[in-house]
A and B are shown apart, each in its own frame.
Chain A
Amino acid sequence: MSHVELSNIVKRFPGVTALKGISFDVRDGEFFVLLGPTGAGKTTTLRIIAGLTKQDEGTIRFDGESVDALTPAERDTAFVFQQYSLYPTMTVFDNLAFPLRAPSRRLPEDEIRKRVEVTAEKLRISHLLDRKTAHLSGGEMQRVSIGRAIVREPRIFLMDEPLSNLDAKLREALRVELQHLQKVEGSTTLFVTHDQIEALTMADRIAVLDLGRIRQIGTPEDIYDRPADTFVAQLVGTPRINLFPARRENNHLYIEGSELHLPAPTLDLPERFTLGIRPEDITPSPDGAFAGTLQITEPLGVETILHIRSGERTLQSLIPGMTDLRIGDTVRFDLVQDRLHCFDLDGKRIN
């Protein structure tokens, strides 16, 4: 396993610059997640690390040594593709053995057999070894495809949205397994996803990528509790963070288009800014300081989302369990004052 470091990677495609100077590093044994919407450049980044695409500028180092001149085979990474990419003419066994049979490795056949069986055991696909891959279910295919990566000891695992083609149940199950596997093996993993839940649940650290630029790098707590800008704030967390234009007047914060106002925290705030409130920080209580009308409730079982109208603004509030509030009721609520997020008009966080 290796420490992988990207510095200032730039990649241009005809008509578009996909990566505009990306720098981050994945530490030895770390589960690093690259999170971003479609078209952010996540897959391109992975492909550049694997050597499948060449960057226009910048350097990639494995354990301090530049790998820019190396072929994909020489870089010794393992890639798990979104579309499984199992070799359709081969059995599951042959698929798993394929990387070990590469002429550059040349392992003896009984060693290959042993390793494939151990891997199949780990992923619980031992019963599938003789099957052709075309007849597997989606979950089985992705297991085999992960198996093909872990059967050898690559310097880094590169996973390109490996769970996104699976249905919800499978995705959850495999996510837990993958996380477990990574922790047990202590493997360096770079995992690409557009799913914030995957990112928050699995990552040791997250890099948020948008339009070829890194918005923020940090632990899941950093990303969730201290988003660097409104983009990151909106990307993570469901339901979405409430964002309102606000102004400061005489040590009070006013939310535009609503009668909500509260004492200003001890921040050096500009006159106009954007106020962000996480839905779970809006807590209904009978003697709350603020009031609004309940518009919609979305009961999810474990928790319920309340849409509370105040003036022209609708606030989403997340409460545990179910509620007996009715639509149209007046709701009183409090805001968790020390968890407010303030962003300047360009979207940057104000501390």
Chain B
Amino acid sequence: MATFYETGPGYPVTESIRVDRVSPTARRIHAVRAFVVLVFAIITLIPVFVMGITAFKSRADVVSVPPKIIFKPTLEGFVFLFTERAVVSKVRLPEFQKKAEAGELSLFERIALNTGQEITGPSDYVDRLKNSLIIAGISTILSVGLGLFAAYAFSRFPIGGKDDLLFFILSTRMLPPVVVTIPLFLMYRQLGLHDSHLGMILLYTVFNLSLSVWLLKGFIDEIPIEYEEAALVDGYTRFQAFYKIVLPQAVTGIAATTVFCLIFAWNEYAFALMLTSDDARTAPPSIATMLGRGGIEWSAIAAGSLGFLIPVVIVTFALRNYLLRGVTFGAIRR
């Protein structure tokens, strides 16, 4: 049998020559761009910064004019956030001070005593945060998961009335959601979904589904169908091809969609206020209700908001590589 070396050309031709070079102008533009982004980032972060320092200010420092940048930090805001307190009567004050001197009081109790209050119990902030995590987390997983399958079907299969269906899905976003709160409230009460985790999860899932179907459809459309067809011919079933080929390539889109859905469900205020009261109440309405008790506790609100930010920041941070890859998606040669 003749080998290739006896019949073919002498050496393999595998390379074509390409030149990749960055011009000085492009580099300068890059520097300018970086500077503009930096300035923009600073401006954007100012409110977060103010919130951060407010959380550590005492009552007096919070309201001082002009606002103080340098101040003595205190955990007052966090004590107010995590506890229920009562004013200590003058009669019992010496008793407390004696306890404090004996070192029988915890850090939080001592801080509360400094403002003339005693701690009567934990606040419901942690429970609210937990509710937020459960509801936002599960509804995000559901809406992205269901959205992914729906988007794949819309993108790949000839579905009768596809365009109309897509329009209907989007149309759920075409009126301000608050408009339907009253009917929803009545329906939820009838169905026993009022103030339940299930009710809120369903609500947010349905709400996010339209967004996730549309976003993910765009991302899946970008993935050439030849990849799956190659896998089908290579001996895989449709679902295996989806799992092995489409999913790894759709990771960018899934990450972006997850972040968007999570942020919506996490921040949603109006429905949470109307449809929950205690068991399933999420963090946003509960932070706002801190306004109500004996004056505005700015430092507690700031501390609560800070704690509220953390989960979303963690998730976004964890997914940031995928999100960045999404920006450069178009640069990949296919």
Contacts and interface: CB of A to CB of B under 8 A. Distances in A.
Interface string B9-31: 10011111000000000000000
A167 B18 CA distance: 13
A139 B235 CA distance: 25
Interface in B222-247: 224, 226-227, 229-237, 240, 245
B229 to A, nearest CB: 5
Given A83-B224, A88-B249, A72 B14 contact: no
B180 interface: no
Given A102-B236, A177-B8, A83 B230 contact: no
Contacts of A266: none
A137 B15 contact: yes
Contact of A50 (B231, B233, B240): B233
Which 3 pairs show the lowest CB-CB distances between chains A and B? A102-B235, A99-B234, A85-B226
Contacts of A205: none
Contact of A52 (B224, B232, B236, B240): B232
A21 B73 CA distance: 85
B33 interface: no
A243 to B, nearest CB: 36
A140 B7 CA distance: 20
B157 interface: no
Nearest to B240: A103
Task: Find the residue from B16, B230, B248, B334 having the highest chain A CB count within 10 A.
Answer: B230
Interface in B111-161: none
A170 B16 contact: yes
A137 B15 CA distance: 6
B235 A105 contact: yes
A42 B263 CA distance: 49
A261 B14 CA distance: 52
Interface residue range, chain A:
35 or more
A167 B16 contact: yes
B236 A103 contact: yes
A334 to B, nearest CB: 37
Contact of A137 (B16, B229, B249, B332): B16
Given A83-B226, A173-B9, A134 B333 contact: yes
B234 A102 contact: yes
Please indicate which of the listed interface residues B14, B226, B240 has the most CB atoms of chain A within 10 Å of its own CB: B14
Nearest to B14: A139
Nearest to B17: A137
Contacts of B332: 88, 134
Nearest to B4: A180
Interface of A: 50-52, 71-73, 75-79, 81, 83, 85, 87-89, 98-99, 102-105, 124-125, 134, 137-140, 143, 148, 167, 169-170, 173-174, 176-177, 180-181, 184
Contacts of B240: 102-103
Contacts of B15: 137, 139-140
A94 B183 CA distance: 55
A98 B231 CA distance: 8
Contacts of B226: 81, 83, 85
B314 interface: no
A173 B233 CA distance: 27
Contact of B9 (A76, A77, A143, A176): A176
Given A88-B249, A99-B235, A177-B12, 10 more contacts: A52-B233, A72-B232, A73-B237, A81-B226, A85-B226, A87-B245, A99-B234, A102-B240, A134-B332, A173-B8
A149 B218 CA distance: 30
B332 to A, nearest CB: 6
